[in-house]
Amino acid sequence: MAASLELPSYLDLAPAVRERFARIDARSVVLEVKRVEKRFRSPRGEDVVALHDISFDVHRREFIAVIGPSGCGKSTLNRIIAGLDHPTSGELLLDGRPVSEPGPDRGMVFQSYTLFPWLTVKKNVMFGLQMSGRGGVAESEALQWLEMVGLSDFAHLYPKQLSGGMKQRVAIARALANRPRILLMDEPFGALDAQTRCAMQSYLLQIWENVDITILFVTHDLDEAIYLADRIVVLGRQPGHVKEIISVPVPRPRSPEQLISPHFIATRKRLDDLIHAQDVDAKEIPIPRLTPVGDDVL
Amino acid sequence: MSARRVPWLAVHQDLGARRRAVLGVLAFLLPLAIWSAFSYLPFLWHPKMLVLDAGDTYLGEGKRYDEAAFHEANAQAAVEGKAPARGEPANPVFLPAPHEVALALVLGFQEPPQNDSDSWLHERIAESLRVIFWGFFWASVVGVPLGVLCGSFMLFARLTEPFVDFIRYMPAPAFGTLLVAILGTQAAPKVAVIFVGTFFQMVLVLANTTRQMDRGLLEAAQTLGADNRKLLTHVVVPGVLPRLYIDMRILLGWAWTYLIVAELIGEKSGITAYIQQQGRYFNFDKVYAGIILIGLLGLFTDQVLQALGRRLFPWEADAAAGPSVLGRVRAFARQARGLEVRAPAQSTGA
C-alpha cells in the first residue's frame, strides 16, 4: 500500500457521527454483558479459559458487531448470550434482568440456516409465535414478516427449495416475528457466496432501519463489521478478551461506496492491526523456488 | 443431444434413468434366465432320468433315478429280453422348471387343501399376515415411543438400553418353547415371537436415529421459545419422522424373517405350514411357489410403504426416493451389527 495515503484517525468522529453516538448512548441499555468468563476442561484435562472478563453494553437499536480471529470465542460469547451456553462466571442482563436460559426475547440467526425442513416457509416463520401461545395471530404476522423480507411468493415452499440467501432471509423473518429484544446473528452470511453476501448486508441494514431492533452481529469479516455496525467489539484470543471497542466513524446511511471512504479505510486498518498483531499464522513463510521462472515474473 | 455418454463402468456416477431401469429389469431377468437354462436345456446338468414308460423293468413311472441306475435296469432288461424303460434327462425333484412354479403359484389358490382340517392357501396367507401385523403392531406401539424417548433423553437411554442391548443378543426363536408354554399353541406365541424379534432391535435402532437429530434445529427452536415438551413434540418428532419411517420399513423386513420361525412353533400355521406340507409330499413346485409368495408379499408391502412415505414426507421428496434407500439399508446393517455411535450432528457456530 502506498505510504503516502493520508488517512484520518479512526478516532476522529465527524460532528454528525458524534451526535449519533450521543443519541445512541442516551437510549436505554438493552443488553449488559458483565465480566463474563468461560472456562472448560480440555480433553487432556487442562483448564482452558475461552473467554476472560468480557464486558460491554448494547443500547437500544444499536447495531453492534463482534469480531476477532478464529478461536477467540466470539461464537461462544454469542451462544452464551442466547442462553445456549452458560458462563462460568459473570452475568448477562437483558433490560436489567439477569438471563441464563434460551428464550424468545433473544432471537438468533445461525450460519447454518437451521430452518425446520418439515415446515413450509410460512410455518417456519409462525413457529415462534405458536410456541409462545400466540398461534391465533401467527399466520397474519408471519405473512407480514415474509413480505418485509420479500418472500411472500415463497410462503408455501419448503426450505429445501430455496437458495442460501433466501433461507437466511426466512431465518431473519422467523427470528424477528417473535419480536425479540435483541437479534443475535452468528456469522449469518458466512456460508453465502460473495455477491449474495453483499446483497444480504444491504438488506439487513434496510430491515434494521425499518424495525425497532437491536442487533449483535458476530463475524470474522472486517469489512462486513464496519459496513454494518455502530460499534465493533474487537476480541483477542487465548484467552478471548475485549481488546477494544471501536465506534465506527463512518456516517449513516451506509452504502457500498463508503467501502473506499478514508474513514472506512482508517477503521479497517485499525482492525487489521488489532486482529493480526498476534496472528502467528500470518507471518511470512519462506517459499523455496522449485522451478526456474522467467525474468518477466516481477 | 448429450455430448458424452457416461461409460457403463464409471466410478460413482449416475447412469441415467433409462439405463437404471434397464438394469433393474435385468436384475430379475438374469437369475430367471439362468434358472430357465438349467431347466430347459437338457444338456445342462440334468443328472437324473425321468421314467416315461417303465417297460418291463422294476422302475416306477414318473419317478426320477440316477442315470447309472436307469441304464443298469435297461441293461438287465436287455439281457432278459424284456422291454426297456423309456426316459428323458431330468433335474432332481427339488429343482422344478419356472413354468411349473408359475403354474403352482396360480393353481395353489384353486386347489382345495389335502386334508379337510387344513386351510386353503389364501387362508394360510391371511394367517401369516395377521401374525406379522399384530406382532409388528404391538412392537411398534411400545417400541416407537420408547425409542424416541431413549434417543431424546439420556435418562431413558441409560435406564433401558443396556438391558435391551442384552436381550437383543438372545435370538427370538430361543423364546419359542417358553412362549408356547405361557401363551398356548395358537396365534399368541407366534405374535409374541415377532414382537420379541423386532421390539428390542426397534428400540435401539430408533433411539440411534433419533440421536442423530440436527442439534442446530433444537437450538434454533429453543431461541424461538420452545420449552422442553414442545421441543420433543414439535421439533424432535417431526424432525426424525422420515428417517424413523425408513427404519420401520427395514424392521418390517426383519419381522418377515421371524415369521417362519414363529409359524413353526406350537401348531404350525400360515405359509410356512403350507411350504412344509408340500415339501413332505415332494411338491417342490409348490414349495418354491410358497417361498416366492413370501418374497412377493414383502416386496409389495415395502413398495406400498415407500410410495406412502413420499406422500407423507413431501419435504424429503428427493431423499425418500430411489437409491438412497439402499444406502440407508446398508447404513442400517452396519448400525445393527455394531450399533456404532456416529458423531453427533454438527452443531452450529464456528
Q: What is the pLDDT of residues B120-169, one digit of tens each?
A: 888 999 999 999 999 999 999 999 999 999 999 999 999 999 999 999 88
Task: Classify residue A1: in a domain, yes or no.
Answer: no
Residue with cell 416463520: A125
Neighboring chain A residues of B224 at a CB cutoff of 8 Å:
104, 107, 127-128, 131, 174-175, 178
Instruction: Determine the pLDDT at residue B142.
Output: 97
A34 and A97 part of one domain: yes
Any A CB within 8 A of B2 CB: no
CB contact under 8 A, B219 and A178: no
Is B116 domain-assigned?
Answer: no
Q: B222 and chain A: CB distance < 8 Å anywhere?
A: yes
In a domain, B145, yes or no: yes
Q: Number of CB pairs < 8 Å for A and B? A: 93
The whole-angstrom separation of Cα A258 and Cα A227 is: 8
User: A69 at the B interface (CB within 8 A)?
Assistant: no
Q: Do A148 and A261 lie in a common domain?
A: no
State the best of A115, A131, A221 to mutate against chain B, taking most chain B CBs within 10 Å.
A131
Q: Which of A75, A158, A175 sits opposite B315 (nearest CB)?
A: A158
Q: Are residues B86 and B144 in the same domain?
A: no
pLDDT at B26 over 70: yes
Phi/psi of residue A93, each to 5°?
-115, 125
pLDDT of residue B340: 44
Q: Is residue A219 a part of any domain in this protein?
A: yes
The residue among A184, A220, A200, A278 whose CA lies nearest residue A73 is A220
Whether B223 sits inside 8 A of A107 (CB atoms) is: yes
A247 touching B (Cβ < 8 Å): no
Q: What is the CATH number of the domain that holds A230?
A: 3.40.50.300
User: A188 with A264, same domain?
Assistant: yes
Sheet holding A47-59, edge to edge: A47-59, A29-41, A89-94, A97-98
- Judged by CB atoms closer than 8 Å, whether chains meet at B241 and A111 is answered as no
Is the residue at B127 inside a domain?
A: yes
Q: Are residues A81 and A25 part of one domain?
A: yes
- Chain B residues touching A84 at Cβ < 8 A: 219, 222-223
The predicted structure's pLDDT at residue B320: 41
How sure is the predictor about A9, in pLDDT bands with cuts at 50, 70 and 90?
A: confident
**Contact with chain B for residue A84, Cβ under 8 A:** yes
Q: Are B293 and B109 in contact (CB under 8 A)?
A: no
Quick: pLDDT tens for B217-258. Answer: 999 999 999 999 999 999 999 999 999 999 999 999 999 989
Same-domain pairing of B89 and B129: no
Confirm or reject contact between A11 and chain B (CB < 8 A): no
**Judgement on whether residues A258 and A230 belong to the same structural domain of the protein:** yes
When divided into structural domains, chain A yields a total of: 2
User: pLDDT per residue over A51-83, tens digit each?
Assistant: 988 999 999 999 999 998 888 888 899 999 999
Q: H/E/C letters for each residue in B266-326? A: CCCCHHHHHHHHHHHCCCHHHHHHHHHHHHHHHHHHHHHHHHHHHHHCHHHHHHHCCCHHH
- Which residue from A minimizes the CA distance to B312? A118
Q: Give me the number of domains chain B comprises.
A: 2
CB A93 within 8 A of CB A34: yes
Q: What is the pTM of this model?
A: 0.82
Pair B280, B325 in one domain = yes
Same domain, A64 and A187: yes
In-domain check, residue A292: no
Contact flag B219-A160 (C-beta cutoff 8 Å): no
**pLDDT reported for residue A294:** 72
pLDDT-derived band of residue B335, with 50, 70 and 90 as boundaries? low
Examine the domain organization and report whether A159 and A196 are in the same domain: no
pLDDT 10s digits, A218-229: 999 999 999 999
Instruction: Flag whether B34 is in a domain.
Output: no
Domain that holds residue A219: 15-105+181-276
Confidence of residue A204 (pLDDT cuts 50, 70, 90): very high
Same domain assignment for residues B198 and B131: yes
Task: Establish whether this prediction's ipTM goes over 0.85.
Answer: yes
One domain for residues A146 and A268: no
For residue A135, the chain B residues in CB contact (below 8 A) are: none
Predicted pLDDT of residue B31: 95
Domain that holds residue B90: 48-94
Whether A95 and A125 map to the same domain: the answer is: no
User: Is residue B12 situated within a structural domain?
Assistant: no
Provide the 8-state DSSP code for A54.
E
Given a cut of 90, is residue A134 above it in pLDDT?
A: no
Q: Is residue B190 part of a domain?
A: yes
Q: CA-to-CA distance for B27 and B289, rounded, in angstroms?
A: 20
Which has the minimum average pLDDT: A1-15, A170-184, A238-252, B20-34? A1-15
Decide if A171 is inside a domain.
yes
- Provide CB contacts within 8 A for A63, sequence distance 6+: A208, A214, A215, A217, A228, A229, A230, A231
Using left for φ > 0, alpha for ψ between -120 and 50, and beta otherwise, residue B95 falls in beta
B75 shares a domain with B215: no
Q: Give the Å distances, CA to CA, from A47 to A31, A44, A77, B190.
A: 29, 9, 18, 58
| Residue contact B224–A107, C-beta within 8 A | yes
CATH code for position B157: 1.10.3720.10
Q: What are the tens digits of pLDDT across the range B165-218?
A: 999 889 888 898 899 999 988 889 999 999 999 999 999 999 999 999 999 999
Considering the domain architecture, whether residues B231 and B302 belong to the same structural domain is answered as yes
A164 close to B (CB below 8 A): no
CA A16, A22, A23: angle at the middle one, nearest 5? 90
Q: B321 pLDDT exceeds 50?
A: no
Residues A41 and A188 grouped into a single domain: yes
Q: Is B129 at the interface with chain A, CB within 8 A?
A: no
Q: Which whole number is the average pLDDT over A226-234? A: 92
Percent of chain B with pLDDT over 70: 89
